[in-house]
Structure 1
Amino acid sequence: MTAPKTLDTPYAPPRIFGPRYRTATLGILLVVTLIAFEGMSIGAVMPDVSKDLDALDLYGMSFSAFLIAGLFANVAAGLWSDRRGHAVPFLLGVALFVTGMVMAGAAGSKEVFIAARAVQGLGGGAVIVAIYVMIVRVYPPEARPRVFAGLSSAWVLPALVGPGLGGLIADTVGWRWVFYGIVPLVVPALVMLLPALRGGDGDAPEPGTGPRSRPLRMTLAALATAAGGGTLLYGVERLDTAPLPGGAATGAGLVLLAAGLPRLLPPKALRFGRGLPTTVMMRGVLASAFFGVNAFIPLVLKEEFGFSTTQAGVALTIGALGWSGGSYLQTRREFDRPTLVRLGATAVTAGILLTALALLPGMTGWIMAPAWMVAGFGMGIGTTSVSITTMRQSPDDEQGANSAALQVVDTLGGALTIGFGGVLVNLIGHDDIATGYIAIIAMTAAIGVLGTAVAGRMRDRP
């Protein structure tokens, strides 16, 4: 009897939970879960924070500060990781994230709380990018799809329980413990990741040579984009109370964005050029439409319908089931990805519009939960399809730059619509939250319609 040939032996890809990779995998998933929990629970507790710190006028900025700071950290951590490795940006990111959590828990004023959110954003933005690089350096190519699928799963549990659990913590021991409670859980994650922080099995990839691989250029562009987004939001928020300074800040913010943002994205992205440029931009379209409403649903439920923080969190949790379902469905077989993204944008738009039914006479606020499940379903099938298509369309030496571009448009899109939503609440909904929310719906639904119209341009050819 002859021995079986090598080609006859079934190939078993490495198991990410096998002995060799188990601790690294668990550490990565725990870190991402903690960041995700903070992101998912903050929406449920922000009404309490706003009340205790008299911060309704900075409601939107509390979200935008995190996102704007994270935008700069995405680019800086990516550049550092490509040239010096992922350990330093990861460890620095974790330290900043923990510092921001402690600052937020101890905040005695809205200004300190906004600063804490910015520090959290710097840490979270650096950690996420460093983890992506860590995966490439630690795991063999055939195992990486499973790890990235695990990252998506790490967002599911916080999406399901984060809002409700955050609301329960706020109602029982106070909103500050939503931030304090995460800090000790970081320690076991760091211990599990120590081997992965020392390096990986593979060699570090050669840095690209294009314009988006130049450290000084990209750092300045990231600074200009982050500063432009923050300055724009600052100016718009003050147009009603201080028109001249507010107008000047708004104009300066637009100039900074125009100078920095195009350099962080593929050519022709802002014009929705066919292929990769539109693919990257669709991530920002989906994020800006969805998160521009998601941040304000708890505020509407509490102020208009008398929901407790726990109830408002449960409503968001039910909506998150749609995201989980959409993410699972798109893995069942191979789909035409641009078609899925268009369907996703359509579902997000429909979910946004359906939440308005709660404001009709005689309707209950609970109708927002199934409506938001529809929007979440759209995000589940849309965002993953955008990521997959981006990697397929990216040359090898531009995958890092395009991954960073996805994070940039996701972060900036969400930050701007949440910030503008806060402006709308203050301008036309300060005494009537429902009116401000209707304006937010109109703004974000228009973005969703745009996404539905241009999703077909993700294809390289008509």
Structure 2
Amino acid sequence: MTDAAAVSTRPEGVLSGRYRLATLGMCALIGIAAFESLAVTTIMPIISRELDGEALYSLSFAAPLASGLVGMVAAGNWADRSGPRVVVIASMLLFAVGLLVVGTAPDMGVLLVGRLVQGVGSGAVIVGLYVMVARLYPPGLHPSIFAGFAAAWVVPGLVGPLVAGVVAETVGWHWVFLGALGLAVPAFFAVLPSLRRVPPPVVAEGGRRVPWSIGRILWSVGAALGVLALNLVSEFPTWLTVVVIVVAVVVLAVALRPLLPPGTLRAAPGLPTLVLLRGLVGAAFLGSEVYIPYMLSAEYDFSASASGVTLTLGALGWAFASWVQGRLGDRVAQRDGIRIGIVLVLLGVVVAALTPLFHLPPAFLIATWAVAGFGMGFMYPRFSVLVLALSTESERGFNSSALTIADSTGSAVALALTGAAFGVLGGASSPLAFVACFVVGTGVAVLALALSGRAVPRGR
């Protein structure tokens, strides 16, 4: 009788009968988005050569990050107002349309349009899924489901870069995106039944729903335009470049203030710095990673599939760290876990800078990028858990949106800096151009480490 009672009162897990379909469906959507992201990083050197788009290389990554800002803000507001169901459905449709446009793009201009549409969808769906987690899962399961999200984001990296490289080298890069679209359809339908079980949003006294925040949505458009302008500075005449940079930075800073928790841009202690820190670590990692396949191709004659090995090992390190973090639970303080992750990312970016500078064997970079991936996987779930823990019910949509906004904005600004440095120093024909890109990532990682003590109180 005692054993039977223990079994009947055992806490449900994320893969128990009640939550299994929701968990698998959401992780599948995250996994497809991850595959597409890693695929783009792997094959973009091929695309830029075929479409004569080397000057727009960084913009092809920054465009979905910029448009994703609009998707995140609109999705956060919409989810607080109406719940995550309609947000997830609408955002997945936009993501699918973007994949279709990119997969059939005849030139770089059309490809960038598709990437913009895709960015709105992917930015919105992440916020929708975060709010879905908050309303469907009990708080005790949040660390496990976010660890699952982190694993789903990186597990495709185990085969994704290799598959994308082989497909691009055989039947053509278009089929990488069209294949991702084909995989997204069943994943989308798998999550629909779980959306019907999500409780409705909390309604304030008087029966009023959370109002539309048109101002915040317009500010997000301004922030997106500022990001795009920064990534286009290389296309302007020299005399106009400084003016564009100053105006874009001012617009971006002003537009971001109402989209983030008060005090984020000045690193106020607690939640504001935590959100800022998410943007910095994402900028250091992604801003460097997108140039690794390009550098291996230009400096070491790696094929697309071979250069994808670095991304695969980085994803493997991320996935393993997510598993470790989930097993450890709270045995490693959140503050310590974040600092460990930053140090490991810093190590990877520094080695990336030294590799083209001294023409080191690429094995050094490949190995240490796996370590950097481990660092990301060890700390990323902690941001989501802490933000939900520090948010009230009515703030979860806004703060989840702010977390992803900081992530995307930080990466997009880093790509603007690396893209400008890359162009000024000679592009793919110059090893110093790649060194400069990784130096930018190093500086951002050092800043993140310096601010980490302000994000999480000591002992937490």
Taking structure 2 as the reference length, the TM-score comes to: 0.91
Who is 1:358 aligned against? 355
Query: Separation in 2 of the partners of 1:19 and 1:389?
Result: 27
For the aligned residues, what is the CA RMSD?
2.5
1:386 to 383, 387, 396: 383
Bigger mean CA deviation after superposition, 341-350 or 214-223: 214-223
Identity %: 36
1:322 to 317, 323, 328: 317
After superposition, residues 276-315 of structure 1 pair within 5 angstroms as 276-315=271-310
Q: Answer yes or no: is 1:180 the counterpart of 2:178.
A: yes
Contact in 1 for aligned 2:288/2:437 (Cα 8 Å): yes
Who is 1:228 aligned against? 226
Contact in 2 for aligned 1:286/1:383 (Cα 8 Å): no
Contact in 2 for aligned 1:71/1:226 (Cα 8 Å): yes
Query: Separation in 1 of the partners of 2:58 and 2:131?
Result: 31
For residues 245-272 of structure 1, give each alpha carbon's deviation from its aligned partner in whole angstroms, at most 9, with x where no partner exists. 4334323312221221111111111111
1:22 to 15, 20, 29: 20
Who is 1:96 aligned against? 94
Query: Separation in 1 of the partners of 2:291 and 2:204?
Result: 41
Q: Answer yes or no: is 1:372 the counterpart of 2:369.
A: yes
Distance 1:122 1:19, change over 3 A: same
In structure 2, give the amino acid aligned to 1:317.
T
Who is 2:147 aligned against? 149
Q: Answer yes or no: is 1:130 the counterpart of 2:125.
A: no
Query: Separation in 2 of the partners of 1:215 and 1:207?
Result: 16
Q: CA deviation at 1:217?
A: 2.9
2:427 aligned counterpart, secondary structure: coil
For residues 329-373 of structure 1, give each alpha carbon's deviation from its aligned partner in whole angstroms, at most 9, with x where no partner exists. 333142222222222222111111112343255632232111211
Q: Answer yes or no: is 1:204 the counterpart of 2:206.
A: no
Query: Separation in 1 of the partners of 2:389 and 2:16?
Result: 28
Query: Separation in 1 of the partners of 2:204 and 2:50?
Result: 48
Distance 1:16 1:385, change over 3 A: closer
2:159 aligned counterpart, secondary structure: helix
In structure 2, give the amino acid aligned to 1:321.
L
Number of residue pairs the alignment of both structures matches:
453
Contact in 1 for aligned 2:99/2:181 (Cα 8 Å): yes
For residues 429-462 of structure 1, give each alpha carbon's deviation from its aligned partner in whole angstroms, at most 9, with x where no partner exists. 3263411111112211111111111111123479
Who is 2:45 aligned against? 47
Structure 2 runs not aligned, ≥5 long: none
Who is 1:450 aligned against? 447
Query: Separation in 1 of the partners of 2:247 and 2:142?
Result: 42
1:190 to 182, 188, 191: 188
For residues 165-189 of structure 1, give each alpha carbon's deviation from its aligned partner in whole angstroms, at most 9, with x where no partner exists. 2112112211111101112222222
Structure 1 runs not aligned, ≥5 long: none
Q: CA deviation at 1:147?
A: 2.8
For residues 184-205 of structure 1, give each alpha carbon's deviation from its aligned partner in whole angstroms, at most 9, with x where no partner exists. 22222232222233342x3423
Query: Separation in 1 of the partners of 2:388 and 2:135?
Result: 17
Query: Separation in 2 of the partners of 1:402 and 1:321?
Result: 29
Q: CA deviation at 1:66?
A: 0.9
Q: Answer yes or no: is 1:420 the counterpart of 2:420.
A: no
Q: Which has the higher contact order (CA 8 A, sep 6+)?
A: 2
Query: Separation in 1 of the partners of 2:389 and 2:430?
Result: 43
Q: Answer yes or no: is 1:340 the counterpart of 2:337.
A: yes
Contact in 1 for aligned 2:295/2:428 (Cα 8 Å): no
Query: Separation in 1 of the partners of 2:279 and 2:202?
Result: 27
Contact in 1 for aligned 2:38/2:161 (Cα 8 Å): yes
Query: Separation in 1 of the partners of 2:342 and 2:257?
Result: 23
Q: CA deviation at 1:9?
A: 7.6
